[in-house]
Amino acid sequence: MRPEPGDGLIARLAAAAERVAGERLEDLSSAEVGRSLVELRRVIDRLEAEFSRRLSHFDRLKGYIGEGATSVVDWLKRRCGLAGGAAAQRAEVARELEALPGAVEAFRNGDFGYHHAAVLARTVTEVGREAAPQAAAGLIAAAERVDADRLRTMSRELRHCVDPEGTLAAAIRDHQRRRFNLSQSFDGVFLVDGQLDGEGGAMLRTAIDALTAPLANDARTPTQRRADALVELARRQLQAGDLPSSGGQRPHLVITVPAAGLCEAAGGDVASMRFAGAVSAETARRLACDAALTVLTEAEDGSALSVSRTMRTVSPSMRRALEVRDRGCVIKGCGLPPSWCDGHHRRHWADFGQTEMRNMLLLCGAHHRTVHELRGTLEPVGDGQFEIRPP
């Protein structure tokens, strides 16, 4: 006779988990909650070790075939609800860890956790079962001391020593798999997705990190700061003007605005940006604040009549004068250097504001956006500095 489910060891484990889940956290101090998290993590790791032991046995028996699965990974996905990567990792731990003498025992004893075991199993896959025991002996000892990320770094270094040809081949493969997609969604926002090899990722990371530091009173999240840094990288590159030209023109952001579209009182005339489509009137006014301007006159039938010379709305000499006077963003507590700043017309030139020193100041991109898009007003606070008041 089969035992009742309630008598099973795993059912008793589940019942214990339920009792743990019923514990009132309000009765515990934060230190007690912290200790319980550490203990819980140890138990989860011990259970992962047991999962691995049983999976290894099940795999050897090819138990998944009887259930219609094509592989143990397929079975884990279907029956245990794991995602592909997580299922493949469990299967790798179950199969490869045993190639390292002592590793399985140490994992079961709780000497290191599941994520360490995954790094060790991956190392076996990478250096091969034959080379693994000798090559990775030090790695097992390290698993008890360092976190799993550090262990992975050590494992990669090890692979470079043991198998230089293999790591070169892997680097070439990673490079071939590089991809980058920038696509505009139905709603007009752009979606970025891709994969870079180690060198490409490090290059981008280095450049972005240089532009990601939080500003004074910065309310942006780290992901927002990284997004801003990527755009800032492009803005600086376009500003520097040393990208290859096309059609005799240096690449630049192109925005087309109907004649009346920039005036404060304008309504109905929609500005549009190349690659992005329609943009709000406030965005058009901000971008036009400090831009190269070309006036195109059209006949009534829409054919072009004349094109003006392109001129900067903030001339190079005006820009230099602003940089000398303002030395950076004029918002109190900001102080970002001129390279981050646009020239801002306090009364917009489209509303007949003059491009002269008393109507101009430097604002960093974020504060320029606050003034235009969020309709903040600039209040002088002395010393050539300003605060932004909400409308």
Given a contact cutoff of 8 angstroms between Cβ atoms, the answer to whether 373 and 283 are in contact is yes
Which is nearer to Zn ion, 122 or 367 (by Cβ)?
367
Choice between 120 and 331, CB closer to Zn ion? 331
Q: Which of 104, 119, 136, 289 binds Zn ion (CB under 5 A)?
A: 289
Contacts with Zn ion, 231-270, as mask; x by CB under 5 A: ----------------------------------------
Cβ(391)–Cβ(375) below 8 Å: yes
Binding mask 129-148 for Zn ion (x = CB under 5 A): --------------------
Interface region with Zn ion, contact rule CB under 5 A, candidates 55-63, 87-95, 187-195, 286-294: 286-294
Per CB under 5 A, does 319 bind Zn ion? no
Stretch that binds Zn ion, among 92-100, 230-238, 304-312, 366-374 (CB under 5 A): 366-374
Query: Strand locations in 157-268, DSSP E?
Result: 179-184, 190-195, 255-256
369 neighbors 286 (Cβ within 8 angstroms): yes
Give the interface segment with Zn ion, choosing from 10-18, 169-177, 295-303, 324-332 (CB under 5 A).
324-332
Say how far residue 179 (Cα) sits from the centre of its chain.
Answer: 16
The CA-based angle 349-353-355, given to 5 degrees, is: 75
Nearer residue to Zn ion within complex by CB, 117 or 364: 364
CB 205 → Zn ion: shortest distance, Å? 25
- How far is Cα 51 from Cα 118, in angstroms, rounded to an integer? 13
| Site size with Zn ion, rule: CB under 5 A | 7
Q: Output the smallest distance, CB 323 to Zn ion, in A.
A: 14
Distance of CA 191 to the CA centre of its chain: 12
When binding is defined by CB under 5 A, the residue of 100, 132, 322, 364 that contacts Zn ion is 364
Let me know: does 177 contact 195? Beta carbons within 8 Å: yes
User: Distance between alpha carbon 7 and the CA centroid of its chain, in Å?
Assistant: 48
CA distance 83 to 372: 46
Contact criterion met (CB below 8 Å) for 97 and 103: yes
Closer residue to Zn ion (CB): 159 or 367: 367
d(C-alpha 185, C-alpha 91), whole Å: 38
Q: How far is the CB of 356 from Zn ion (least distance, A)?
A: 15
Minimal distance, residue 164 CB to Zn ion, in Å: 49
CA distance 296 to 71: 66
Q: Which is nearer to Zn ion, 124 or 331 (CB)?
A: 331
- Residues 93, 100: Cα–Cα separation, whole Å: 11
Site map for Zn ion, 369-388, x if CB under 5 A?
--------------------
Least distance from Zn ion to the Cβ atom of residue 30, Å: 38
Least separation in angstroms between residue 219's CB and Zn ion is 13
Q: Tell me how far, at minimum, the Cβ of 282 lies from Zn ion, in Å.
A: 10
- Mask for 331-350, x = binds Zn ion (CB under 5 A): x--x---------x------
How far apart (Å, rounded) are the C-alpha atoms in residues 236 and 257? 24
Residue 362 lies near Zn ion (rule: CB under 5 A): no
Number of C-beta neighbours around residue 93 at 10 A? 28
Q: Which tokens hold the place of 358?
A: 């008393």
Interaction of residue 367 with Zn ion, rule CB under 5 A: yes
CA angle 158, 163, 166 (to 5 degrees): 120
The site for Zn ion (CB under 5 A) is made up of: 289, 329, 331, 334, 344, 364, 367
